[in-house]
Amino acid sequence: NVFAQETNKDTLTVATNATFPPYEFIKDGKIVGIDMEIANKIAEKLNLKLNIVDMEFNTIISSIESGKAHIGMAGMTITKERLKSINFSVPYAKSTQIVLLNSNSRLEKIEDLKDKKIGTQLGTTGDIYAKDDFGEKNVQSFDKISDAILAMKNGKIDAIMIDQQTGRNYLSNDSALKKIEAPYVEEEYAIAINKSNKYLLDKVNKAIKELQDDGIIDKITKKYINS
C-alpha cells in the first residue's frame, strides 16, 4: 500500500502553487494546468482520487516532509539543496529562467540588471539565482508572482526573474510586458515526494515513464504550450 499508516487511503494529495501558468493556475475557480493533468493521470494509474492543495510555493517542500501532502507538483526544479529534504521523481519537463520587464523599460540585457531591483517568487530557483548574481539587497521576494508583476507595474521593482514558460505565459496575456533572455542553466521539473516513501517514488516514476512512452505528457504539454 502507498500510504500504510493512513486512514484516507484512496486519495493522493498533491501540493501546488496555482500562480504558475501553464503548469498550474486557476481557471473558472478550478486549479488546472499541465502539472494538474499529469497528476490526475498518475492518480488514475495508482487507482487513487486526486486531492489538490494550493499553497505558497515556499511551503510545498515542508508540506511533503510533514506528510500534509503526498506529492508536490509545481514546476519544481530538481536542485541539490532540495534533495536534502525530499526525493524527486524522474524529470518530466525542462525550463530555464527569463527576465520580465515593463514594455517601456530601458533595460536590454541581463548585465543591465546590476543595481536594479529584481522581483522573484520566494524560494524559487529564480529567487536563488537573482540573489546569488545580483546580491540579496537588490532582490525582493514575493509570495506570489502576480504580486511581483503588480509591483513592477507600480514602479517598485525593475525586473522579474521567472521560469521561461510561465514568463512567456504572463507576457502573451499582457502587452505592457516584455522579456529579455537570461543565460541560465537548463532546469528539470520533477515531482517532490517524502524521503521515507520509496514505494510511492517507484510508483510515480513508473507512471511518469509510461505517460512519457505513451506520448501523453507530450500531448498534455502541447495543449498548453504551442511553440
| Residues β-bridged to residue 12 | 50
52 backbone φψ class: left, alpha, beta (φ>0; ψ -120 to 50): beta
Query: Does 190 interact with ligand GLN (rule: CB under 6 A)?
Result: no
When binding is defined by CB under 6 A, the residue of 59, 124, 164, 221 that contacts ligand GLN is: 124
- 57 forms part of the interface with ligand GLN (CB under 6 A): yes
Residue count, binding to ligand GLN (CB under 6 A): 13
Q: Closest CB to ligand GLN among 127 and 158?
A: 127
Complex with ligand GLN: residue 48 or 100, whichever CB lies closer = 100
| Site membership for ligand GLN, residue 17 (CB under 6 A) | yes
- Cell 494546468 locates to 33
Q: Per-residue DSSP letters for 165-202?
A: HHHHHHHHT-TTEEEEE--PPPEEE--EEETT-HHHHH
Whose grid coordinates read 521560469? 163
Residue 139, helix vs strand vs coil = strand
**One-letter identity of residue 168:** R
Q: Nearest approach, Cβ of 62 to ligand GLN (angstroms)?
A: 14
Instruction: Please give the full DSSP string across 49-95, using - where no structure is assigned.
Output: EEEEEE--GGGHHHHHHHTS-SEE-SSPBP-HHHHTTEEE-S--EEE
CB of 79 to ligand GLN, least distance (A): 7
Per rule CB under 6 A, is residue 77 in the interface with ligand GLN? yes
Q: What number of CA atoms fall less than 13 Å from residue 39's CA on the CB side?
A: 30
CB-wise, 48 or 71, nearer to ligand GLN?
71
Closest CB 94 distance from ligand GLN, rounded Å:
10
Does position 167 bind ligand GLN by CB under 6 A? no
Site for ligand GLN in 194-213 (CB under 6 A): none
For ligand GLN, the binding residues (CB under 6 A) are 17, 20, 57, 74-77, 95, 121, 124-125, 163, 187
